[in-house]
């Protein structure tokens, strides 16, 4: 079991002291080494999954930025063509 002093050292009060109720991230005074190890491994798994998701999201953001840049370039090119065609039409009609 983890003494209450260890729980206090990580900034948590035991439920007997009127602290927060026990949940998956809190430590009670009766937490065993096995339970602590299991919780630690669960948190490591969660962190690893979040890191994978962050990398995926960064890749998606990179692809979206590239697509945005390509679309902006296409718009600029079409605007140039429209302005050139518009200028040519004005010259032909004496405007």
**Res 53 pLDDT > 90:** yes
pLDDT higher at 82 or 10 = 82
Task: Please give the average per-residue pLDDT across 55-67, as a whole number.
Answer: 98
Under a CB-based contact definition with an 8 Å cutoff, are residues 24 and 39 in contact? yes
**Res 43 pLDDT > 50:** yes
Residues for the chain: how many in total? 95
* Residue 45: partners with Cβ closer than 8 Å, 6 or more residues away: none
Under a CB-based contact definition with an 8 Å cutoff, are residues 1 and 32 in contact? yes
CA atoms within 13 A on the CB side of 65: 6
Under a CB-based contact definition with an 8 Å cutoff, are residues 29 and 7 in contact? yes
Q: Provide the pLDDT for residue 24.
A: 57
Task: Please give the average per-residue pLDDT across 40-48, as a whole number.
Answer: 97
């Amino acid at each position: 079991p983890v003494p209450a002093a260890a729980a206090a050292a990580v900034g948590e009060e035991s439920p007997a002291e009127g602290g927060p109720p026990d949940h998956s991230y809190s430590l009670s005074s009766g937490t065993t080494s096995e339970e602590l190890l299991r919780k630690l491994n669960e948190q490591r798994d969660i962190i690893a999954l979040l890191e994978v998701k962050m990398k995926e999201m960064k890749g998606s953001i990179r692809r979206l930025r590239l697509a945005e840049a390509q679309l902006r370039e296409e718009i600029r090119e079409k605007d140039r063509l429209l302005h050139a065609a518009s200028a040519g039409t004005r010259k032909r009609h004496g405007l």
